[in-house]
């Protein structure tokens, strides 16, 4: 674990050193859980958004996008339940004065039991070698059975307490499990309290005229309240979806793990409206489609898993998370929820406006059911960064840090370098840049040795380096160096466009999906 923490620290400082992510307001000592994206970060982020947006709107003729405002009528948050129920159970440690989410402390304790089981399995695998029957071992080993039983009982008790909103019981679980504060190491806990996560501000100039408004904690409600606008003006027929990318704000208590949990973050959400009764089939389809989208990036199928929810929100009849293996364990990156007709019905009730769909095939009106896919751009960014980072030992004792970013997401697609800064090589290199820049984010670099320049590009994940040398002037060929294999091939300048395009276009990812 300590080793994993180390890797994560390195990734965080790499993200800063190479212009991916900066602490917000850094020269004023920072603002907790708020981050800025630098020159490379913004490109990577934009590419993630483009991949998502195109996968939704280009590949599905029945999905359209919107961009709704961050400020919305405050009654929307009454209707959605956020005013009354968007609460986290908090607990403070009296010695360290640190505040924690009680549910997160308990979930981490459950995860420890899971780890224990995996350790037992790993130990046995080592001991038995090739003859190891893992399934049988998991079923029959008494030690595993004991841990699994303990886990089950704890999980059951925790789910019950969360379902009943029983704050005393949550505290009692923390006490009974002897959970300690990671900072002070003590069990000196306060009571558990509820805390609303929405940021509130005032709209309007005078004290009497001002209205309390919230910064939206999710983008989804902007879609629900525009359901009829889009359906009518776009002449949409069910089933259809509305997609949106935008900022969301949550006054998170536990602000740890870099950009994993932020107070200002970005979501990519799609609400898919379907006939009542068909929602579980659509849920299944979207669950699979979304995992395919992730896997198409080629970061390794074993890094993903589903986490189906046993405890469902009151409005949902199915829910799952897609989790990604971060250096600090498997963590939620995306949620897929079958939200029934809860949101549209609530808005109908609170606004007094009829929000129904007339289905011409059935010849009847109904409130559509909704499948939601909701993914955090920043968490996706973090998963891409973590899985791409590698410190590589090279032959000859050299070392390099390389980001194996999926090529279509890389901030810079190719860097063009004259071998030396004379003899007309810079001019030739500039000519190549002038041609490629219309299609690819292209860097020109003539400073330092060629080796150092390669390292700089490796560190930001540039898939291709193009080197112009004296031979180029004679026969119009260059060396094309590939980031991961470091292989260099001599290619014709005329072929560059095609060779690069095949690897780096978002198009190539989208084709894997359809
Ligand atoms: P968590 O349990 O981690 O707090 P959540 O279940 O509340 O997350 P949702 O409300 O389902 O999250 O939001 C959908 C997605 O938005 C999440 O899968 C995550 O990627 C992203 N997200 C939610 N909260 C944050 C945050 N504070 N910072 C960054 N991304 C977030």
Closest-CA residue, ligand 1 atom 19, reads 376
Please give the Cα distance from 340 to 318 (Å, whole number): 9
Closest-CA residue, ligand 1 atom 2, reads 332
Residue list, ligand 1 pocket, CB within 6 Å: 218, 250, 252, 261-262, 265, 267, 332-335, 374-376, 378-379
What lies within 8 Å, CB to CB, of 374 at 6+ separation is 218, 220, 267, 268, 269, 270, 334, 335, 336, 337
Residue pair 483/464 in contact by the 8 Å Cβ criterion: yes
> Strand 63-65 and strand 240-249: pairing?
parallel
Instruction: From the CA of 261, give the closest atom in ligand 1.
Output: 28
Q: Which residue has the tokens 């998170």?
A: 252
The pTM for the full model equals: 0.85
Q: What is the pLDDT along the chain (514 residues), one digit of tens a residue?
A: 567 778 999 999 999 999 999 999 999 999 999 999 999 999 999 999 999 999 999 999 999 999 999 999 999 999 998 988 777 888 999 998 888 999 999 999 999 999 999 999 999 999 888 888 888 998 899 999 999 999 999 999 999 998 888 999 999 999 999 999 999 999 999 999 888 889 999 998 766 777 889 999 999 999 999 999 999 999 999 999 999 999 999 998 767 789 999 999 999 999 999 999 999 999 999 999 999 999 999 999 999 999 998 778 778 999 999 999 999 999 999 999 999 999 999 999 999 999 999 999 999 999 999 999 999 999 999 999 999 999 999 888 889 999 999 999 999 999 999 999 999 999 999 999 999 999 999 999 999 999 999 999 999 999 999 999 999 999 999 999 999 999 999 999 999 999 999 999 999 999 999 8
Closest-CA residue, ligand 1 atom 13, reads 374
Closest-CA residue, ligand 1 atom 12, reads 335
Give the DSSP H/E element, type plus range, for residue 71. Answer: none
Closest-CA residue, ligand 1 atom 10, reads 218
Please give the Cα distance from 278 to 286 (Å, whole number): 13
What lies within 8 Å, CB to CB, of 32 at 6+ separation is 255, 263
Taking only Cα atoms into account, the Rg of the chain, rounded to an integer number of angstroms, comes to 26
Choose one of 86, 251, 335 to mutate for the ligand 1 pocket test, by most ligand atoms within 8 angstroms of C-beta. Answer: 335
Give 255 Cα–ligand 1 centroid separation in angstroms.
12
Give 376 Cα–ligand 1 centroid separation in angstroms.
6
Give 497 Cα–ligand 1 centroid separation in angstroms.
39
Q: What share of the chain is helix, strand, coil (3-state, %, to 5)?
A: 45, 25, 30
> Strand 442-444 and strand 414-418: pairing?
parallel
Give 414 Cα–ligand 1 centroid separation in angstroms.
34
Instruction: From the CA of 376, give the closest atom in ligand 1.
Output: 20
Q: In 45-165, which ranges are E strands? A: 63-65, 87-93, 99-101
């Amino acid at each position: 674990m300590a080793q994993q923490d180390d890797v994560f620290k390195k990734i965080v400082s790499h993200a800063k050193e190479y212009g991916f992510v900066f602490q917000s307001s850094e020269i004023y000592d920072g603002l907790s859980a708020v981050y800025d994206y630098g020159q490379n970060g913004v490109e990577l982020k934009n590419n993630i958004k483009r991949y998502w947006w195109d996968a939704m709107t280009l590949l599905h003729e029945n999905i359209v996008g919107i961009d709704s405002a961050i400020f919305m009528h405050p009654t929307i948050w009454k209707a959605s339940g956020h005013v009354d129920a968007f609460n986290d159970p908090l607990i403070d440690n009296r010695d360290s004065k640190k505040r924690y989410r009680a549910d997160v402390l308990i979930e981490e304790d459950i995860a420890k039991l899971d780890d224990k089981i995996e350790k037992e399995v790993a130990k046995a695998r080592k001991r038995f070698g090739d003859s190891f029957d893992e399934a049988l071992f998991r079923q029959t080993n008494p030690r595993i059975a004991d841990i699994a039983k303990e886990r089950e009982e704890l999980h059951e008790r925790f789910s019950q307490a969360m379902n009943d909103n029983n704050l005393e019981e949550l505290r009692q679980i923390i006490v009974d499990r002897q959970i300690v504060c990671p900072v002070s190491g003590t069990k000196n806990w306060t009571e558990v309290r509820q805390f609303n996560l929405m940021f509130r501000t005032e709209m309007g100039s005078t004290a009497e005229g001002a209205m309390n408004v919230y910064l939206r904690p999710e983008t989804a409600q902007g879609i629900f309240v525009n359901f009829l606008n889009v359906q009518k003006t776009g002449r949409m027929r069910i089933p259809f979806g509305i997609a949106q990318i935008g900022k969301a704000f949550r006054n998170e208590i536990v602000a740890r793990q870099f950009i994993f949990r932020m107070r200002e973050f970005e979501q990519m959400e799609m609400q898919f409206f379907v006939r009542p009764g068909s929602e579980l089939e659509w849920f299944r389809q979207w669950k699979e489609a979304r995992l395919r989208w992730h896997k198409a990036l080629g970061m390794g199928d074993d890094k993903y898993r589903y986490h189906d929810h046993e405890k469902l929100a009151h409005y949902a009849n199915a829910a799952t998370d897609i989790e990604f293996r971060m250096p600090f364990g498997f963590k939620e990156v995306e949620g897929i929820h079958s939200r029934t007709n809860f949101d549209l019905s609530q808005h109908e009730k609170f606004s007094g406006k009829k929000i129904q769909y007339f289905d011409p095939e059935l010849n009847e009106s109904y409130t559509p059911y909704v499948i939601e896919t909701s993914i955090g751009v920043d968490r996706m960014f973090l998963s891409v960064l973590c899985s791409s980072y590698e410190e590589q030992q090279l032959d000859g004792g050299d070392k390099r840090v390389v980001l194996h970013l999926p090529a279509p997401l890389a901030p810079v697609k190719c860097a063009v370098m004259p071998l030396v800064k004379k003899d007309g090589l810079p001019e030739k290199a500039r000519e190549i840049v002038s041609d490629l820049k219309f299609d690819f984010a292209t860097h020109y670099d003539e400073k330092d040795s060629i080796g150092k320049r390669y390292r700089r590009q490796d560190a930001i994940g540039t898939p291709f380096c193009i080197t112009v040398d004296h031979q180029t002037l004679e026969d119009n060929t260059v060396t094309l160096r590939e980031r991961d294999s470091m292989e260099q091939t001599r290619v014709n300048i005329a072929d560059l466009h095609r060779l690069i395009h095949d690897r780096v276009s978002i198009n190539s990812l989208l084709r894997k999906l359809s």
